[in-house]
Amino acid sequence: MHVGDGKGLDISHIGYTKLHSPKRIFTLSNVLHVPQITKPLLFVQKFYRDNHVYFEFHASMFYVKDLVTKEVLLSGQSHDGFYVLSEFSATSVPQAFWSPCISATADLWHRRLGHPTPRIFNLLVFGNKIICTSRRSLTQCQACPLGKSSRLSLRPTSHKTSAPLELIFSDVWGPAPMFSFDGFRYFVIFVDAHTKHIWYYPLVAKSDVFSTFQRFQTLVER
């Protein structure tokens, strides 16, 4: 390898590496390891071809931008006549860490870990992966049955509707764990089997279903 004054420098290895940044991982192919060079130098044209970017140079700094979206991916400042590329590492990418030495209640760990099942949670506790302030079992979690519940499928039927309102499906849900802003804790829906149109009615009490259906019937039949 020849430098500016014409002196030849030995290349000990040719390899491949990556440059990590918060927005993208850049590839660097045919990287030359020259032991006599104390500062790493970047071949701009090669970097451009390998990563589909372009360089924008200014008096005091420069930018590396995406060739299509024009988004700024890297930047650096000018120093002593050189444009210095900021160094990044894999740790620059946002990461999440946890420490097993921090103790908390079983219920708090259950929420932190995304509501695991009791079997999985006990494996973590007794395997000393997490430290609980008490070894008692978890209390009943209200979010688990709500988040993990599934809707039952309807039984197969040979009946085919040919007109709206020929067949109506209905379902009642409640009570909700808390009142809505208007004081409702239940709701009922009516689904037309032919058009799949849905009517939704909030309810204060479950006993309001019949009167609500009468209002619904009057509405749709008119």
Q: Structural domain boundaries of the chain? A: 13-92, 103-147, 168-221
Helices (H), 67-136: 106-112, 118-126
Measured between its terminal Cα atoms, the distance across the chain in Å is 89
CA-CA distance, 62 to 56, in Å (whole number)? Answer: 6
pLDDT of 102: 62
- Residue 180 in contact with residue 202, Cβ under 8 Å? yes
Report mean pLDDT in 10-residue bins for the chain, 222 residues: 78 82 82 82 84 88 87 84 67 51 77 86 81 69 78 75 91 90 92 93 94 94 88
Q: Which candidate, 111, 122, 191, 120, places its Cα nearest to that of 151?
A: 191
Instruction: Give the three-class secondary structure for 175.
Output: coil
Q: Which helix (H) or strand (E) holds 202?
A: strand 198-203
pLDDT of 9: 83
| Torsional class of 70: left (φ above 0), alpha (ψ -120 to 50), beta (otherwise) | left
pTM: 0.36
Instruction: Give the three-class secondary structure for 66.
Output: strand
